[in-house]
């Protein structure tokens, strides 16, 4: 069946994201160095993030709140107010980061947008993602941006209902097997995986899911031009 | 021209919201009572919220971050880590509030959804608003939920493009003249104002805008049934 709409993931598919979070985490661990090792701080942060995920969802603001909560807990309340302000500043810096496009992205979008209706389908805060899209200069290639609270099959089902197309008419392109590829395939949609070198542990999946491949994988986004 | 889609604001149009924020603010001021009066605390909080609005946008998580930042600043760093955890707890409680529907809402939606395509058009965090919609039991009446980073004319223009309808084919219903009524009217759309007794100061506008009314106003949501 003909593809009617192509969905692009944004973070680490169109532009650099995860390395910015890693940098913020590194700065956070530096603040806590008097209380706990970097490795333990990372572990404690991840635990807090997972505890808060259902409540906060994805995005920088929930990340900031989890940083603060983790810092207070692992310092046993000894962290100073000033250090907490420094943690808030790390988060504000993250929200204001320059956008660095991945290789070949603009060329691919220029080409593909002439032939298909494109949308961005991404998790994270709406305002933050809209700001990144604006800064990226890529907004003109997309019909609109769809912020998803999560990327489970249910969420894609809702998206398809909203777009008023069948799963077979939808192609999703992204760097996360767990969020961009498997849920779409499971509904009968199409998907192209473009791996990225840095993946948040929460987005990692065990390799056994790979056994029955029904999606395509390319090395860089430019390679999709040969497939479409 | 015939109405194709009706947009409903959610907070304080379909369900109680602002009073929950007022309650959270009251609890926040109680924590700060050793440092500053309630009135001054409210003023300082509003100042922080306005400074952060471009960066954080609307919603409970940005509100929580502004609470923490305000508490540290107005206590001159004397607030304890434990008190900051209490502030985080106020925010988490806010995110988990029960939904209280406003009078007549379900009956109106049941009736109107038979004749029109309905959407929710709201600011705030996506996950939070989706959760509220789910808890409300009203999801079945809406085609989908549109989270808007802001409700300026530009944002409604983007929404109309996305919905692929003309302004004249869109009717917006909500409690905020500033966010739900005037921007839609300015684009040539239709709007019905349903005032609510409690309004965030940021949503208030000066009366001079009211001079040239081109929208309708009803006392309760049920009254729209006579207009449609």
Helix (H) or strand (E) holding A191: strand A190-193
What is the DSSP secondary-structure string of A28-41? HHHHTTTTS-HHHH
What CATH number has the domain spanning B18-95? 1.10.150.240
Q: Was domain A5-16+101-227 assigned CATH 3.40.50.1000?
A: yes
Task: Tell me the shortest Cα–Cα distance from B43 to chain A, in angstroms.
Answer: 20
Residue B210 has pLDDT above 80, yes or no: no
Cα–Cα dist B134/B146, whole Å: 14
Residue B123 has pLDDT above 70, yes or no: yes
Cα–Cα dist B68/B86, whole Å: 10
A170 forms beta bridges with A5
Cα–Cα dist A134/A140, whole Å: 9
Both structure tokens of A136: 């990226």
A162 CB neighbours in chain B (<8 A) are 143-144
Per-residue confidence (pLDDT) for residue B150, from 0 to 100: 92
Each residue's pLDDT tens digit, B22-65: 999 999 999 999 899 999 999 999 999 999 999 999 999 999 99
Residue B212 banded pLDDT, cuts 50, 70, 90? low
CB–CB contacts below 8 A, A to B: 95
Q: Check CB contact of B43 with chain A, cutoff 8 Å.
A: no
Q: Check CB contact of A92 with chain B, cutoff 8 Å.
A: yes
Each residue's pLDDT tens digit, A23-77: 999 999 999 998 999 999 999 999 999 999 999 999 999 999 999 999 999 999 9
CB contact under 8 A, B162 and A143: yes
Cα–Cα dist A19/A125, whole Å: 18
Closest residue in B to A92 (Cα) is: B55
Do B192 and B228 touch, CB atoms closer than 8 A? no
Query: Distance from CA of residue B119 to its chain's centroid?
Result: 15
B7 forms beta bridges with B119, B172
Q: Which of B118, B145, B149, B165 to mutate to test the interface with A (most CBs of A within 10 A)?
A: B149
Each residue's pLDDT tens digit, B127-177: 999 999 999 999 999 999 999 989 999 999 999 998 999 999 999 999 999
Both structure tokens of B158: 């983007």
pTM for this model (two decimals): 0.91
Phi/psi of residue B78, nearest 5 degrees: -85, -10
Does B5-16+100-226 match B18-95 in CATH topology? no
Residue A211 has pLDDT above 50, yes or no: no
Task: Tell me the shortest Cα–Cα distance from A75 to chain B, in angstroms.
Answer: 10
CB contact under 8 A, B144 and A162: yes
Locate the domains of chain A by residue range.
5-16+101-227, 18-95
CB contact under 8 A, B64 and A62: no
Q: Check CB contact of A95 with chain B, cutoff 8 Å.
A: yes
CATH architecture assignment, domain B5-16+100-226? 3-Layer(aba) Sandwich (3.40)
Each residue's pLDDT tens digit, B52-98: 999 999 999 999 999 999 999 999 999 999 999 999 999 999 999 99
């Amino acid at each position: 069946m003909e593809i009617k709409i192509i969905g692009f993931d944004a973070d680490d598919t169109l532009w650099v994201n995860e390395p910015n979070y890693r940098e913020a985490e590194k700065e956070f661990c530096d603040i806590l160095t008097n209380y706990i090792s970097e490795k333990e701080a990372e572990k404690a942060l991840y635990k807090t993030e997972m505890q808060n995920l259902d409540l906060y969802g994805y995005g920088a603001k929930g990340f900031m709140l989890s940083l603060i909560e983790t810092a207070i807990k692992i310092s046993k309340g000894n962290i100073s107010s000033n250090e907490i302000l420094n943690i808030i500043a790390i988060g504000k810096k993250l929200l204001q980061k320059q956008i660095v496009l991945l290789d070949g992205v603009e060329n691919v979008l220029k080409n593909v947008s002439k032939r298909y209706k494109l949308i961005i389908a991404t998790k994270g805060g709406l305002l933050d993602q809209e700001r990144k899209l604006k800064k990226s200069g890529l907004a003109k290639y997309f019909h609109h941006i769809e912020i998803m609270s999560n990327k489970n099959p249910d969420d894609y089902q809702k998206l398809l209902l909203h777009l008023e197309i069948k799963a077979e008419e939808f192609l999703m392109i992204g760097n996360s097997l767990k969020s961009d590829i498997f849920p779409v395939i499971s509904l009968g949609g199409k998907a192209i995986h473009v791996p990225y070198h840095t993946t948040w542990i929460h987005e990692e999946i065990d390799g056994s899911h790979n056994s029955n491949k029904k999606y395509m994988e390319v090395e860089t986004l430019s390679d999709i031009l040969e497939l479409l």
